[in-house]
Chain A
Amino acid sequence: MKAPDFEYLRPETLAEALAMLARHGEDGAIIAGGQSLLPLLHFRLAAPAYLIDIGRLEPLKQIVEGDGYIEIGALVRHCELAASALIGREFPLLHQAVEHIAHPGVRHRGTIGGSLAMADPAAELGACCLALAGDVLLQSAAGQRWVGMADFFAGIYETALAADEILTAVRLPRRGHGGIQIFNEVARRRGDFAMAGLALVSDRGLGSPRLALLGVSDRPILAVRAMALLSQDPTATEAAIALIGDEVDPADDPAYPPAYRRHLVGVLMRRTLAELSP
């Protein structure tokens, strides 16, 4: 089908965009890369009266090095993450994960801010930013706030974003050298939605591990029990593999029953830990 009609607004500055959203937020939608929103419009699952195109806001397209962190602008596209040497150096997890996001044509348009704001439970970048202990910057005409990833995701397509707020950046703490970052997922076919995925971020020798899972809950989640177990004893890998499947409670899905997804989480854990072995 074709998209329903809407009023198209194209702000040139963030302040202008925030003012538009303050006026039209309840009836408005932000469009960036459009790779999730346009299918929703075509299916008539969304019918905003106003479409606010933030695609020309140049300051949101930067990757900035800060003191102890890297800040990725909301409009940085998946292909730009993949092409960034800085990201490859600091967050190889993101380089690994981007390869799994849909197909080249989609990666050329889709943005990190759009992916996070869409909050698809099977999205790669949400789980990665959770594993990397990131914070998102939410801005409105009234002010701004930083929200940790664990507090940002609120359910399927649900986030902490208010109707008058735009997610403008994600800030990821730098990880020092010698640490571990591994991403794995299982999908039917390259680029398909993940049936399950796992992001591991830890210090050298599996110290202070963070394990984020995607596709197995209504939002990306941390496998806190497996994390606690490995924190106490980094050699308890078999116990962690046995445990991690029981940490998730996937929705009932005729194609992939919950027991199968729980099994996949264990498989992903085993694959991920196997990559650590010399």
Chain B
Amino acid sequence: MKYLTTIGLEVHVQLRTRSKMFCACGTGFGAPPNTQVCPVCLGYPGAMPVMNEEAIRLTVMTGLALGCAIPAFSKFDRKSYFYPDMPKNYQISQYDCPLCDGGAVEFESGGQGRRVRMVRIHLEEDVAKNMHFPSFSGVDFNRAGVPLMEIVTQPDMGSPEEAMDFLLALKQTLSYLGVSDCNLEEGNVRCDVNCSVRPDGQEELGTKTEIKNLNTFKGVFHALRHELDRQVDVLESGGRVTQETRRWDADQGVTYSMRSKEDAHDYRYFPEPDLMPVELDAATVGEWRAAIPELPGARRARLTAEYGIPGYAAGVIAADRAVADYFEAAARASKNAKAVSNWVMTEMLRLLGERGMTIGNARVTPGALARLVSLVDSGVVSSTAAKDVFAAMFESGGDPDALVREKGLAQVSDASEIEAIVDRAMEENPKSVADFMQGKSAAAKFLVGQVMRLSRGKANPKLVNEILERKLGAE
């Protein structure tokens, strides 16, 4: 039997703020345990939360970018549950009046345009980190209270691949907005997934399960693949899927049911009395909207239209806002945007990838790249030599003209100089000359190669061909 899949996601995104959501503690990653703590984020008696305005702004900007409605009234609530990672044993979150309602993410998956609708985006505080030892667990409250934006989607995804593409598109947008570092290694983005299967033709959705706390996109993909297979197996063997929360064991590659003594889950939400509501006026929202940069989809389209580069190249370049900024700066300084896009996509991204660098700390300035392209186009350097120049600039920066001079990489376009080299190549390779005479045209290619070798790659290939052709014709 064929089964249909339904997937919904809750994506938790750590916002890029200097201080925590409700106190002034720092948010830096990797500090020694419990060194970024204060009475508020340790849940001390008498301590009180105060909202970080920047976290509100970043959440609302995200909402605006995803087409959410921004309600005139929003508030925070207490969500009660006891757990050692919770300093107050309630989490300050948002229940019925989130900062953002609705919205959608549009992206491509499997060569098709897709649209995943949002339910809402709300803001809450992150919890502490637990570390498990044989007989006890340790708690580090550095992360407790870091602003966490929760993006809840409708169950609009039909496959793990689509869920993955959605996450990549969402991450691109969030990075563009600058609202989060989106650093998966540091746990900046964590997902809870809901999924269910139903036989093809059945209208109503199957029973869903939830897999909590997936902190890599790969984990989301594999956990979904496994869990969906498991659900199909259950149904195929005549069983029923139980609605439950499961965990993903990445090492074993399986999901398992979470069993706990917590028989009762009753979050007992009620309005947080220590915080006043958020009531944003149109002017403030307008000001925040104005700060939204061009988003990846729009930029991709514009790069193609404005610079005439192919759609694929535009996609690769627009995927990263900084790369796209770099490209545009170089392309504007150059007459050959297509060549610039090729340099960025191939040499630049390859070398950055090899070194684990980002374009922000590349030594090749956009102006230098534009100049290098023009040196190639005007025949001053060959494209082969240009790669050496690029590599040198990548290592230690510098000006392409100077590097061409220093390294003596300028192309030789002086006919008499090339004639002399051609003569020498013909003298040294009489057999090839003879082969050519007997109609073996491949021999000419060999001779061109020899000329280039003797000129250490600097001879203008066009002139070499012309002169060699003329001389061989005269033999």
Q: Do A and B bind each other?
A: no
Q: Contact residues of B with A, CB < 8 Å?
A: none
Q: Contact residues of A with B, CB < 8 Å?
A: none
